[in-house]
Structure 1
Amino acid sequence: MFGRAWLVGCALMVAALAACGAGDGQNGTEGQGKKKQKAPTMDMQQAGQRSETILDGTLAAIRPPVKWAYGAPVEAACSTGLNEPTGTTTVTRSRNILTVVSEQRRGNLLGLVQRYWERQGFRIVDVNSDKDMPRIRARDAEGFTVSLDVGSIGNVSVSAGLSCAVNSAMTYPTGTPGHPGGPKAEELRPRERSDFWSSSEPFRQ
C-alpha cells in the first residue's frame, strides 16, 4: 500500500508536468488560434541535473536537517494530441525524507519549503491543505515544477522536474535506485527520529 501511494503521487507530478508542457507549446501542436511557443532548448541530461540542483537546495534549506534518500527517477515520453512522438520527454527526480515528520510539524515543514521556493523565484501554483495528505506545488520561469507531498502514512517526498525536454542520454547521482551505485528498490518508509520534526508537541515560536 505504501509503495502504491508514492507511485500515485509520482504519477500526479508527471501529469502536472505534462500539463505545464502542453500549456507552453512544448508538447506538440496547440489549439487553433493560439500562438505556438518556442521549442524546448534544454535536453534530458540538463533537465535532470537542474532538477537535482533544485532538490539539493530544497533539502539544504530544511532546518533542523532531515535524513533523505534518492527517489526513483521518472521519464515519460511527450506526444501530440494524436499520440505522435515529439522527440521530447518529461523528466522528474525526487527525494524521500527518511526523518519522521509528525502531524504537528508538517505545517512547519511545508511553510519552510514554500518560503524557500518563493525566495528562489518559484510561484506557488497549487496548495492542498488536506489534514492527512497536504501538498504544495510551484513553478519557475524556466518551466520547472517542484512539489512537496505528504503520503498516506505520513511519508514525505520532494520532486522536481521539467516537462518535455529534448531526448538525450542521462546520468544519475550515485545512490539513485535502479542505477549503478544505488539500491535496487527505493527507501520509502521514514524511520529516523528528530527531536524537532518528530515531536508530537505543537510548535510555538
Structure 2
Amino acid sequence: MNMQQAADRADEILDDVLGAIQPPVEWTHRPTMAGNCSTDRSRTVMTIISEQRRGAFLGLVDRHWKSKGFTFRATSKDKQAAYYVSPDGFQASVLIGWKGQAHFEVTTPCVEKSDVKPPTSPPHGRDYYNEPPTAPNVTSDFWSATTPAGN
C-alpha cells in the first residue's frame, strides 16, 4: 500500500463514521498532512454540538467505531476526545473543541512513500478546504439543542 491508497482508506473511515451520524451534520475537509511514510486526513464539523448533546455525539461515534472492530485506546481527561485504532492499523480520533466544534482525524500506518492528492468526496455543506479554520456556524435542531438527548 502506498500513501495515496492509505489516504483513500482513511477517507473511507471518515466517510463511514460521518455517514453514521444521525441526524446528519455539516462537515468540511481539512488539508491533508503527508509525512515521510504516513498521512493524516481530517474533517471538521461545522454543525454546533451543544454541551448538552456532546455525550450523545461521542457515544454514537464510539458505538459505531467499535461495531466496525476498532479498538478504543484512550480518552482525554475532560472526556471531549477519544482515540481508536482500526483493525488494519489506522489511528482514528474524534474531539470536541471550541464552541462545540467536532474534529475527526485518521492517521495512516507507515506505508510506501507516494504523492497524496486531496480528498475526492464532496463535503456535506460549505467547502472550507482552502480557507482558514472557522468556528462552527451551522445550527441543528437536534445537535445544537440545549436539552439533553432523549428529552
Q: Same fold (TM over 0.5)?
A: yes
* Contact preservation (8 Å) 2:34, 2:116: no
**Is 2:55 aligned against 1:107?**
yes
Give the deviation of 1:96 after TM superposition. Answer: 0.4
For 1:72 and 1:188, the matched residues in 2 are separated by 14
For 1:182 and 1:72, the matched residues in 2 are separated by 10
Give the deviation of 1:56 after TM superposition. Answer: 0.2
Unaligned runs of 5+ in 2: none
CA deviations over 1:137-181 (Å, ceiling 9, x no partner)? 1002211011001123322101112132210122222489xxxx9
TM-score normalised over the length of structure 1: 0.66
**Is 2:31 aligned against 1:52?**
no
Q: Could you say which residue in structure 1 is the equivalent of 2:35?
A: 76
1:168–1:96 CA distance, 2 compared to 1 (3 A):
same
| 1:86-101 alignment runs, 5 A limit | 89-101=37-49
1:162 to 94, 108, 129: 108
* Contact preservation (8 Å) 1:174, 1:182: no
Query: Residue 71 of structure 1: SS of its match in structure 2?
Result: strand
| 1:1-205 alignment runs, 5 A limit | 42-77=1-36, 89-130=37-78, 134-174=80-120, 183-204=129-150
| Structure with larger RCO (C-alpha < 8 A, sep 6+) | 2
Larger radius of gyration: 1
1:204–1:183 CA distance, 2 compared to 1 (3 A):
closer
Query: Residue 108 of structure 1: SS of its match in structure 2?
Result: helix
TM-score normalised over the length of structure 2: 0.88
Q: CA RMSD in A?
A: 2.1
For 2:4 and 2:38, the matched residues in 1 are separated by 11
Query: Counterpart of 1:64 in structure 2: which amino acid?
Result: P
Give the deviation of 1:186 after TM superposition. Answer: 4.3
Displaced runs of 4 or more, over 6 A = none
Query: Counterpart of 1:197 in structure 2: which amino acid?
Result: W
